[in-house]
């Protein structure tokens, strides 16, 4: 048996024999394990499991059903509440879009912009009035602007 085929320990294997004769053990796998995806259950699956759970009459049958399907009791609780509210369809996760709040924010920004524009226009009009007074030019009455 060559040195490359020998095992140092049950978990560490010899990967190669360098020229200096020392054994080099293979290190742990550096690959990052991907996270599991969130499970999504179809409406038909939820209904089937709820019906099976309702048919369970002996103690421990519901637990066996949950173990067989890889579910938790909280799944049954949530699905029963969703069935009562007729909302067994998968729901979107995260914040719900609040269209009224978005519209309110947009209108508030527009209002602030228009207020700033009005303030600038009033400053320009005041400057024009003062310039007319300094140059003795006829001023326009404020009533004619309408």
Predicted confidence (pLDDT) per residue in 91-132, tens digit: 677 777 788 888 999 999 999 999 999 999 999 999 999 988
Threshold 0.75, pTM exceeds: no
Residue written as token pair 């006829």: 138
Q: From CA 82, how far away is CA 8, in angstroms rounded?
A: 56
Residue-wise pLDDT for 30-62, tens only, equals: 777 778 888 888 889 999 999 999 999 899 999
* Residues 9/2, Cβ–Cβ less than 8 Å: no
79: exposed, middle or buried (Cβ count in 10 Å: 0-12, 13-18, 19+) = buried
pLDDT band, very low/low/confident/very high, at 68 (cuts 50, 70, 90):
very high
pLDDT at position 52:
93
pLDDT at position 20:
57
* Residues 18/24, Cβ–Cβ less than 8 Å: yes
Average pLDDT over residues 129-143: 79
pLDDT at position 33:
78
């Amino acid at each position: 048996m060559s040195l490359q085929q020998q095992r140092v320990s049950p978990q560490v294997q010899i990967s190669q024999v360098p020229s200096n004769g020392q054994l080099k053990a293979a290190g742990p796998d550096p690959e990052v394990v991907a996270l599991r995806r969130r499970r999504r259950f179809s409406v038909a699956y939820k209904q089937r499991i709820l019906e099976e759970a309702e048919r369970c009459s002996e103690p421990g049958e519901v637990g066996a059903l949950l173990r067989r399907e890889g579910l938790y009791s909280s799944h049954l609780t949530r699905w029963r509440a969703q069935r009562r509210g007729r909302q067994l369809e998968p729901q979107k996760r995260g914040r719900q879009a609040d269209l009224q709040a978005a519209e309110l924010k947009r209108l508030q920004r527009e209002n602030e912009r228009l207020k700033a524009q009005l303030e600038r226009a009033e400053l320009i009009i005041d400057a024009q009035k003062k310039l007319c007074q300094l140059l003795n030019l006829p001023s326009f009455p404020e009533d004619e602007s309408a």
